[in-house]
């Protein structure tokens, strides 16, 4: 392309533009490879024999070792961990919604004594991450007999993401016009009826955004789960995986570890592909624009 | 009157579940951190003894803590700067160029930020793995085999290796935030600038970055806090603080003090100290970047 003579001026300019675009594209593709290759490698490794994993990270598996997945589910107990994770996600989500939606409604739409204080209190909660308070949390839950219990772990999760959820939902609640409530009240819809039948359907985009964020948060959480749950039968997937990793370091049976990683990745990828657009939009609302 | 009472009951009923959760699992433990950091408390059965500021004095004579603090500081400095730079460049390329497949890049780049930290940490342990890792075998492949090394096992490279992992995890997240910001900038600015002959780079430096400055300031704080908590998971899975404590970070050391050595009071004092430091850093970066914008 560069050898086109100068007589074709417009063509030459566009040739430069094309080269520029391809350079940009190359730059972006290189980054995409850096992001994706570890994941592709992981999927390939989950279908290889130990010997093949050790030999080279670049080759394809010679035959597909589905046995790795069987081993992950049976001897590595990935199935149990997965069920625990699903249970904890559902419980946490239920607790979170029961707590966050009414709170956000009241803080966002009603005037009462102490509203400003409560709003600020929840805002302050945004800054207190789980790792800071894991020690007193452990001690308190030990005293109250709440350790090694999936329900209380879920409650801790819900409490952890509550400030963020309230913050995000309050914004949505404020945007709903007041006429709707007035009309509902005149029609004899009580306070609770208004909340459940009028407000909740209208705030659905906000609630969905909260659910998506909370899902990734609950599904991936590691620090609290590894501290507050002791018995193997109650562990969630991230904790189970990190245990498996510690064991495999010495046993060098990589297959089931990689299969386990794929098992964790699949629901995440699935939900991501399904909800990608809403997720990035929600992030912009919650993260920056408020 | 009954109307008023009904309203009060409703408000209370709405606030109660949230407040219970929040008080029990956030406020009370936070208060405990502040309170018990002034106590010596060695184990569940042990009675806490008030020792004033001794925990804080001990911290500064504790070589491991100081090393952990230095490592954390290194990550808090390197990771946000590089992450935000990459995110800004990618965001402006993806919004300002006319590539057909740009939404595909956005989807791919954002993906790591929804992955479990545990999964990321395990994957990167294998990238850096001395024998089966593909960083080393990649180096051999392109003829740089002599540079192959045990990236996580060498105290000169371990922190850089962890930093790369943290950047890989977060760059796409901030990119999406900046893309939202750039979408909000009026295209007229760019049009006027290109009519005046401004190059893409100049447009980036004199339009995109200043217009996004408020968002950049917020993300610096996000990123500093993110590094603090993500480094905990990444370090405990990838290196366990090794080799010889050279990748110990403040929160892993705190955790070990509490749950391995049962030094609860000391651990909480460290938590308080790190919390105050991170707040100070957020405040400081806010002040610094605020001045620059003026």
- C-alpha angle B99-B103-B104 in degrees, rounded to nearest 5: 95
Cβ pair A287:B125 closer than 8 A: no
Q: Which of A94-98, A240-244, B270-274 comes out lowest in average pLDDT? A: A240-244
CB-nearest partner of A28 from B15, B93, B264: B93
Q: What region does B241 belong to: left with phi over 0, alpha with psi -120 to 50, or beta?
A: left
Range among A44-58, A204-218, B66-80, B136-150 with highest mean pLDDT value? B66-80
* Arithmetic mean of pLDDT, B194-222: 87
In chain A, the percentage of residues whose pLDDT exceeds 90 is: 34
Structural domains in chain B, CATH included, are 77-288 (1.10.3720.10)
Mean pLDDT, chain A, whole residue set:
84
Contacts of A135 in chain B (CB under 8 A): 33, 254-255, 258-259, 264, 267-268, 271
The pLDDT-based confidence of A36 (bands split at 50, 70, 90) is very high
**Token code pair at residue A216:** 């990734």
Instruction: Please tell me the predicted confidence (pLDDT) of residue A77.
Output: 84
Tell me how far CA of residue A213 lies from CA of A86, A162, A266, B161, in angstroms.
15, 11, 17, 28
Contacts of A100 in chain B (CB under 8 A): 18
The pLDDT-based confidence of B1 (bands split at 50, 70, 90) is low
* Arithmetic mean of pLDDT, B87-93: 93
Contacts of A142 in chain B (CB under 8 A): 44
pLDDT at A7 over 50: no
Q: Could you please report the per-residue DSSP string of A62-90?
A: SS--THHHHHHHTTT-HHHHHHHHHHHHH
Instruction: Please tell me the predicted confidence (pLDDT) of residue B294.
Output: 44
Instruction: Please tell me the predicted confidence (pLDDT) of residue A212.
Output: 83
Cβ pair B132:A25 closer than 8 A: no
pLDDT at A2 over 50: no
Of A92 and B205, which is predicted with more confidence?
A92
Q: Which of A257-261, B9-13, B147-151, B219-223 comes out lowest in average pLDDT? A: B147-151
Cβ pair B232:A131 closer than 8 A: yes
Of A100 and B243, which is predicted with more confidence?
A100
Contacts of A158 in chain B (CB under 8 A): 21
The pLDDT-based confidence of A254 (bands split at 50, 70, 90) is confident
pLDDT tens-digit readout, A203-219: 888 898 888 889 888 98
Q: What are phi and psi of B195, to 5 degrees?
A: -65, -35
* Arithmetic mean of pLDDT, A45-49: 85
* Arithmetic mean of pLDDT, A5-24: 66
Instruction: Please tell me the predicted confidence (pLDDT) of residue A1.
Output: 40
Q: What is the ipTM of this complex?
A: 0.85
The pLDDT-based confidence of A8 (bands split at 50, 70, 90) is very low
Nearest C-alpha neighbor of B180 from the set A24, A282, A175: A282
What is the crossing angle of helices B213-238 and A130-143, to 10°?
Answer: 50
* Arithmetic mean of pLDDT, A278-282: 70
* Arithmetic mean of pLDDT, A36-61: 82
Beta bridge partners of B39: B50
Q: What are phi and psi of A276, to 5 degrees?
A: -50, -45
pLDDT at B86 over 90: yes
Instruction: Please tell me the predicted confidence (pLDDT) of residue A6.
Output: 42
pLDDT at A3 over 80: no
Using the CB atoms, write b or e for B204-218: b if 16+ within 10 Å: beebbeebbeebbbb
Choose, out of B20, B27, B29, the residue to mutate when testing the contact with A (most A CBs < 10 Å): B29
d(CA A242, CA A71): 16
* Closest residue on chain B to A260 (Cα): B119
Q: What are the helix (H) ranges across chain A? A: 9-45, 50-55, 67-73, 78-109, 115-125, 130-143, 150-175, 179-186, 191-193, 200-202, 204-220, 223-228, 237-251, 254-284
Using the CB atoms, write b or e for A86-95: b if 16+ within 10 Å: ebbbebbbeb
* Closest residue on chain B to A136 (Cα): B29
* Arithmetic mean of pLDDT, B208-226: 86
* Closest residue on chain A to B113 (Cα): A216
State the DSSP code for B115: S
pLDDT tens-digit readout, A81-111: 989 999 999 999 999 999 999 999 999 988 8
Question: What length does chain A have?
Answer: 290
Nearest C-alpha neighbor of B50 from the set B33, B60, B34, B36: B36
CA distance A198 to chain B (A): 16
Cβ pair B18:A166 closer than 8 A: yes
Tell me how far CA of residue A150 lies from CA of A157, B222, B235, in angstroms.
10, 30, 26
**Token code pair at residue A131:** 């790792």
* Arithmetic mean of pLDDT, B246-252: 91
Contacts of A98 in chain B (CB under 8 A): 17
pLDDT at B293 over 70: no
Q: For residue A56, what is the enclosing H or E element?
A: none
* Separation of first and last alpha carbons in chain A: 49
d(CA A82, CA A264): 8
* Arithmetic mean of pLDDT, A5-18: 58
* Closest residue on chain B to A158 (Cα): B21
The pLDDT-based confidence of B291 (bands split at 50, 70, 90) is low
The pLDDT-based confidence of B292 (bands split at 50, 70, 90) is low
Instruction: Please tell me the predicted confidence (pLDDT) of residue A283.
Output: 64
Number of Cβ pairs < 8 A linking chain A and chain B:
229
Contacts of B22 in chain A (CB under 8 A): 121-122, 125, 159, 162-163
CB-nearest partner of A264 from B97, B119, B133: B119
* Arithmetic mean of pLDDT, A266-275: 84
Instruction: Please tell me the predicted confidence (pLDDT) of residue A285.
Output: 59
Q: Assess contact for A159 and B23: CB atoms under 8 A.
A: no
Of B136 and B290, which is predicted with more confidence?
B136
d(CA B53, CA A8): 79
Contacts of B30 in chain A (CB under 8 A): 128, 132-133, 136
Cβ pair B119:A238 closer than 8 A: yes
* Closest residue on chain A to B44 (Cα): A139
Tell me how far CA of residue B209 lies from CA of B173, B205, B213, in angstroms.
17, 6, 6
Q: Assess contact for B106 and A277: CB atoms under 8 A.
A: no
Of B86 and B135, which is predicted with more confidence?
B86
Cβ pair B123:A261 closer than 8 A: yes
Mean pLDDT, chain B, whole residue set:
88
pTM of the predicted structure, to 2 decimals: 0.86
**Token code pair at residue A236:** 């969630």
**Token code pair at residue A253:** 């049976």
| CATH homologous superfamily for the domain A69-289 | MetI-like (1.10.3720.10)
pLDDT tens-digit readout, A49-59: 877 777 777 77
CA distance B217 to chain A (A): 11
């Amino acid at each position: 392309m560069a050898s086109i003579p100068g007589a074709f001026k417009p063509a030459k300019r566009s040739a430069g533009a094309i080269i520029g675009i391809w350079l940009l594209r190359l730059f972006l593709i290189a980054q995409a490879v850096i992001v994706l290759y570890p994941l592709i490698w992981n999927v390939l490794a989950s279908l290889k024999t130990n010997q093949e994993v050790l030999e080279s990270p670049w080759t394809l598996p010679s035959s597909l070792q589905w046995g790795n997945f069987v081993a992950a589910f049976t001897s590595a107990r990935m199935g149990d961990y997965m069920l625990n994770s699903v249970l904890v996600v559902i419980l946490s989500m239920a607790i979170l919604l029961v707590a966050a939606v009414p709170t956000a409604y009241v803080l966002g739409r009603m005037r009462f004594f102490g509203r400003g204080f409560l709003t600020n209190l929840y805002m302050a909660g945004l800054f207190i991450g789980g790792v800071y308070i894991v020690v007193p949390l452990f001690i308190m839950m030990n005293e109250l007999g709440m350790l090694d219990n999936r329900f209380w772990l879920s409650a801790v999760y819900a409490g952890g993401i509550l400030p963020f959820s309230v913050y995000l939902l309050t914004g949505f609640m404020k945007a709903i016009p007041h006429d709707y409530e007035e009309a509902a009240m005149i029609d004899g819809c009580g306070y609770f009826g208004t909340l459940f039948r009028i407000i909740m359907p209208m705030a659905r985009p906000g609630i969905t955004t909260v659910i998506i964020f909370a899902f990734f948060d609950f599904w991936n959480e590691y620090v609290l789960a590894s501290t507050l749950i002791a018995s193997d039968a109650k562990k969630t997937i991230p904790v189970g995986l990190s245990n498996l990793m510690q064991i495999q370091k010495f046993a060098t049976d990589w297959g089931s570890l990689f299969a386990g990683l794929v098992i964790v990745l699949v629901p995440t990828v699935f939900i991501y592909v399904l909800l990608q657009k809403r997720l990035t939009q929600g992030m912009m609302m919650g993260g920056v624009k408020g | 009157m009954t109307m008023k009472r009904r309203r009060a009951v409703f408000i209370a009923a709405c606030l109660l579940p949230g407040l219970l959760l929040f008080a029990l699992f956030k406020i009370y433990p936070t208060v405990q951190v502040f309170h018990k950091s002034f106590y010596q408390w060695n184990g569940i059965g042990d009675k806490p003894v008030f020792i004033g500021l001794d925990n804080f004095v001990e911290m500064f004579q504790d070589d491991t803590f100081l090393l952990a603090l230095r490592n954390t500081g290194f990550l808090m400095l390197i990771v946000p700067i590089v992450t935000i730079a990459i995110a800004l460049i990618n965001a402006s390329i993806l919004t300002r160029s006319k590539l057909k497949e740009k939404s595909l890049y956005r989807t791919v780049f954002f993906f790591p930020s929804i992955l479990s930290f545990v999964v990321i940490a395990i994957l990167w342990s294998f990238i850096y793995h001395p024998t089966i890792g593909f960083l080393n075998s990649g180096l051999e492949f392109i003829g740089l085999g002599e540079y192959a090394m045990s990236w996580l096992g060498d105290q000169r490279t371990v922190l850089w290796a962890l930093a790369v992992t943290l950047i890989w995890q977060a760059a796409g997240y901030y990119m999406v935030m900046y893309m939202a910001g750039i979408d909000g900038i009026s295209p007229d600015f760019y049009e006027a600038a290109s009519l005046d002959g401004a190059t893409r780079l100049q447009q980036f430096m004199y339009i995109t970055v200043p217009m996004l400055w408020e968002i950049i300031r917020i993300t610096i704080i996000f990123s500093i806090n993110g590094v603090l908590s993500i480094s905990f998971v990444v370090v405990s899975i990838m290196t366990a603080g090794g080799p010889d404590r050279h990748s110990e970070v403040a929160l892993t050391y705190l955790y070990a003090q509490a749950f391995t050595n049962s030094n609860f009071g000391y651990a909480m004092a460290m938590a308080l100290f790190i919390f105050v430091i991170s707040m100070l850093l957020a405040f400081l970066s806010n002040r610094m970047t605020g001045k620059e914008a003026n």
